[in-house]
Chain A
Amino acid sequence: MEIYRLTIHEAHELLKKREISCEELTKALFDRIKSVDEKIRAYITLDEEGALQKSREVDKRKDFTNPLTGVPVAIKDNICTEGLKTTCASKILENFIPPYDATLSVRLKSRDAVILGKTNMDEFAMGSSTENSAFFATRNPWDTTRVPGGSSGGSAAAVAADECIFAIGSDTGGSIRQPAGYCGVVGMKPTYGRVSRYGLVAYASSLDQIGPITKDVTDCAMVLNAIAGRDIMDSTSADIPVPDYTLSLKPDVSGMKIGIPREYFGEGIDAEVREAVLNAAKVFEKMGASCEEISLPHTEYALWAYYIIAPAEASSNLARYDGIRYGVRAKDYEDLIDLYKKTRSEGFGAEVKRRIMLGTYALSSGYYDAYYLKAQKVRTLVKRDFDQAFKKYDFILCPTAPTVAFKIGENTDDPLKMYMNDVCTIPVNMAGLPGISLPCGFSGNMPIGLQIIGRPFDEPTILQAAYAFEQATEYHLKKPCIDSDTASSGEQKCDKEPDAGKGVIA
């Protein structure tokens, strides 16, 4: 097998045994990127020089105790990396090189992970397809005419196309889980407060959360071990002990109670998606868990409340991009107001402007109660639905997204249709819960994501459930067929007709 295809745990074993060097692995990944990224376009910035230098340092040190040491990672371009451009896929930060690291970057660096580069995304994480990047759209490795999902589309595509060993994303309304689902990889949004947000360029502060995108559930647990925990730089990070998440990797769900919310299987949910998720429920039942249909009655309002709260916070968070201190400034302006207007008109894309306007309106004097305050009340109700359910059920099972990845350009003229893509993931952010997406089938050639939602800070349970499902199935072993790599290497086998039923244990 080509070493760029390794998972973290596989790479770790080989590095530890010195069967491969970190430099070899890093080089293999850059070769891989050079051969396929032309088609996928997952990266905005590559740091080949920095990564190779780091890899040589790691090889010299010869200490591979930590599973992330020497493992190449791709980081979403809204997470600050000192000395490495961080653009948020926006023109307004096109030239921004942070003089500081996000806590996430510090944690990865302190474990000697090798940062390959920064991945493409929807501008300021606003979008569900990565088409809102100011620079270019990323393509889905399973079908390059389709979107990889978003907003962490670059990270998910990079993992699916083996352009990194693992990646980091951020999730405000589904931005890790939905692209992970669309790209057939594992993506987790941890509980709000589990991972420090310091240095994550804010979209909606009360909803944003950083998380891993990996090739399997074991890797997800390993990354979470490294990045979770209290950070004095982030007041909203929780002062709750971090367990060893790899201890949850037991293929055992017997006796667990699973809630299947009927609201996530209604109108707009693709029949094949529904079937795959219900099929997954059967897998769990076969392993000794019990499934019951439940109701989360306020689900339908969550999306609309989200589109008040997130834009409201965004309108304030993005106000600092005024061209005064950093970033891009418009060239010709008359006075201060004109400088603001031109800089922001030229610097922001259409979706960002749309959300800034929505949020500004929602917070305006005289409208605050009707919009923002009301939305916060809805948020409380959404959270209460989950609290009720978790009194009885250990986790909740539902689709990650209503459909599989759609065609590039299919939804760009219809923001409301685009927003519907996050209907299954948004309630989880609104309630601050942990959620994980992992592959549970295919519709044609396109992967289907299964979402497992847990209690606050109960990442261990959803990791255990996800691991059990993964062990019982083979969906995660399927790889996309990227045309150019069949041409360049005969090794890659493309599954022409993936069979959704094939992976289910008898």
Chain B
Amino acid sequence: MALAPLTFRRATAIAVVVLLVLALLPAGWCVYARPVGAILDDAVSPVVYPLRVMGLHLRQTVSSPESSEADMALIDARLREQDNIIANQIGRIQELEDELHELRGQKQRLGGDSYNLARANVIGQSTDPVSTTLKLDKGSRDGLAVGQPVLYRASVVGRIIDVQSRVSTFELITRPGRVISAVITPRDVKGDWSALDRAPCQFRATRRERLVYDEADGSLPIHVKDFARLQDKDWPASVQHWIIGEVIDVKTSVDAPLRQRVVIEPLVRLRHLSAVSIVMPKQEADEPHAGGTP
């Protein structure tokens, strides 16, 4: 029996059917796209990375415009601005000192012999507007593996969900709907805060890059600027007790007066990250494996 000639219309219809099947494949079978996507990510990264860095720098500049020197009033405003900058810098130095202290504590907990930190640049994001993933310029040949936590300074920002040989993808902790356990600790506690014996709270990520917990015990002394520290068995032991954000709002629940609603926000705008660190067990870092996605 002779086959009907393949016209453009028929080819389109076949393509639609094939695409529908591909789109509805079970999750375990959806492994065909990432290797090709990784090649694409790798190919566009020479343009994406500088554009992203320049764009973020420009955005920062536009959001805090410098004053004109022509007008005395503006000069006055500029002087005040300088004063504010100095005050901010003093505050920043304090923050950095706190962060240094935090990092030293975490390094001690990690144990210098067990883990390595690998630095990676963020070379782009998922092109889907509702996605919360970022792409890194390191992959399996650099020792990265699925599930490894991603850090920025002293805070956990996400976890790797896909690894190719030269690029990888990580998902932010603020993916809407994600539930993550954390304990709230006072910001000024420098020593062993675990002595506070706080129960972990089940925070749920919202669409505004925040994490919310509605059922906190009303008697707990939770304050704005307190830290939320990861304490979740679904996350690797290496990042337990790392900071995931700070409290930005605490309110007594309207429906249950004995409960508090706690809102935490990451310490940085996660979608604007340009470089991150990945915690890798030492043997993985020393012996990079060549495998792709499991």
Q: Do A and B come from one complex?
A: no
The residues of A with any CB-CB pair to B shorter than 8 Å are none
